[in-house]
Chains A and B, each alone.
Chain A
Amino acid sequence: MTDIAIDPAPGAGAPGADPAATPPPGGPGQGPPPVPNFNIVPVRALPIVAALLVALIVAIASNNLWALEFFHVFGGGLWTSLDLFLGLVLGPIIGSLSIPARVEFTTRFMPKMLLIMPTLVAMTLGAGFQLARHLGNLEAAYPHHAWVVTSYVIVGVMAVIALGLLEPANLAVLFELKKPHPNGARIQRLMKVFIYTAGITGIMQILTIFIMTFLASH
């Protein structure tokens, strides 16, 4: 892990300085706040992602029902929880932070999300499709086929939202923060897109869980 230290704003904390007279960095008419150095892609986490994807392939190739169930439930649970937590809990908190605090949080948080979310989605959907095939839930003759198709549609809408809005916003924020003069209003707009779309997909996930638990108990 890299320690990230941010220098205090010029003048802040200087002996004899009046804190009230020093506007916070990033405020209106101020220069940009300090941006911690960060990697857009956390390279050190890539082996973990690779290991999870290899384990997923092994689970599919070995037709191991327990492993498939594990990947599907574990991935789906984390995906849902993260989306809901992000959209309904963390989002409003981030919105209430000062701009320097938001910048620091974003530079630490968003690169990790760039790897976590696609990995969880691949685990959940890959294992889920294979599990449903083994259990016969994919068959058109399955008595609750309409429920399964409804879950396809919900997942399809979530995929379009995640890949068309959420991921591009995530990446654009990180590249904006790498600029010599990041645009705060733009970061705020893109972060809103990220947080709102995460919340929407989280709520859609609840619908999916509703369908999945119905199918599992019938």
Chain B
Amino acid sequence: MSATTEVLPPGPGFGEPDAEDLRQAEFPPVMPVAISTLVLIVAGGIVVAAQYGRPPKLTVPVVLLGLAALLLIVNAILVARIKEFARPVFHRVLGWALLAYVVIAGILEFVFVFDHTPGRELSLFTGMLVLFALDVPLMLAFSVARWQPPGAT
């Protein structure tokens, strides 16, 4: 048992806008693009799951998966092009979140493989899980790093 106390030194007013607030307008729309990617992944999953037990029509989910992949690539480029950004914090959160979501996606993949999901649907689900395991960590990492000063580690 240890008692820890951290009293902060006097700083600017607790609720006043700071430099990070002022920088928000400079950021590209990473969060809306990431949420759109997630919506496409979820929609694709619902379309495939809704056809369970009959020969599935995969055109719509394949298109949704392709669009989601495209948006994720666009988002990665958007993040890479940000100049003033707390990149060390972004990479730290991205790494740990990636680990957590790879485990979650791995459990779901295990369920699909265990259930003998047919090859085409399994490929589609695997693609969706890969995008899911990349998109969510990107959202989490960006949503933290956007509020940190560029030099923060």
Q: Which A residues are within 8 Å of any B CB, using their own CB?
A: 1-7, 25-37, 41, 53, 56-57, 60-61, 99, 118, 122, 126, 129-130, 133, 138-142, 145, 149, 152-153, 156, 159-160, 163-164, 167-169, 171-172, 175-176, 179-186, 188
Q: Which residue of the partner chain A has the closest CB to B152?
A: A179
A213 to chain B, nearest CB (A): 21
Q: Is B123 an interface residue (CB 8 A)?
A: no
Tell whether, in the assembled complex, residue B114 and residue A181 are in contact, meaning their CB atoms are under 8 Å apart: no
Are A35 and B46 in contact, CB atoms less than 8 angstroms apart?
A: no
Specify which chain B residues have a CB less than 8 angstroms from the CB of A3 in the assembled complex: 1-4
In the assembly, what is the distance between CA of A27 and CA of B14, in Å?
A: 7
Give complex CA distance A35, B104 in Å. 32
* B50 in the interface (beta carbon within 8 A): yes
Given contacts A139-B52, A140-B53, A149-B50, contact A172 B143 (CB under 8 A): yes
Secondary structure dominating the interface of B: helix
Q: Known: A126-B111, A163-B136, A185-B15. Contact between A2 and B49, CB under 8 A?
A: no
Quick check: is B134 within 8 A (CB to CB) of the other chain?
Answer: no
B21 on the interface (CB 8 Å rule)?
yes
Contact B115 A180 (CB under 8 A): no
Instruction: Determine the chain B residues whose CB is within 8 A of the CB of A184 once the complex forms.
Output: 14-15
The winner among B7, B11, B54, B89 for most chain A CB atoms within 10 A is B7
- Closest chain-B Cβ to A102's Cβ sits at a distance in Å of 11
B147 contacts A186, C-beta separation under 8 Å: yes
Q: Is the CB of B54 within 8 A of A186?
A: no
A122 closest partner in B (C-beta): B104
Interface size class of B (residues with CB under 8 A): 35 or more
Can you list 8 pairs linking A and B with CB atoms under 8 Å apart? A6-B5, A33-B8, A36-B5, A133-B52, A164-B38, A172-B144, A175-B147, A181-B18
**Chain B contacts for A176, CB-based, 8 A:** 147
Min CB gap B55→A, angstroms: 10
Distance in Å from the Cβ of A111 to the closest Cβ of chain B? 13
Contacts of A164 in B (CB 8 A): 31, 34-35, 38, 139
Contact A140 B6 (CB under 8 A): no
**Cβ of B43 to closest chain A Cβ, rounded Å:** 7
Contact B114 A61 (CB under 8 A): yes
- Does A31 contact B140, Cβ atoms closer than 8 Å? no
Would you call B31 and A34 a contact (CB within 8 A)?
Answer: no
Chain A positions within 8 Å of B38 at CB level: 159-160, 163-164
With A138-B53, A188-B15 in contact, do A129 and B3 touch (Cβ < 8 Å)?
no
Is the pair B46, A149 in contact by a Cβ cutoff of 8 Å? yes
Q: A-facing mask of B134-153, CB < 8 A → 1, else 0? A: 00100110111001100000
How many Å lie between the Cα of A60 and that of B107 in the bound state? 10
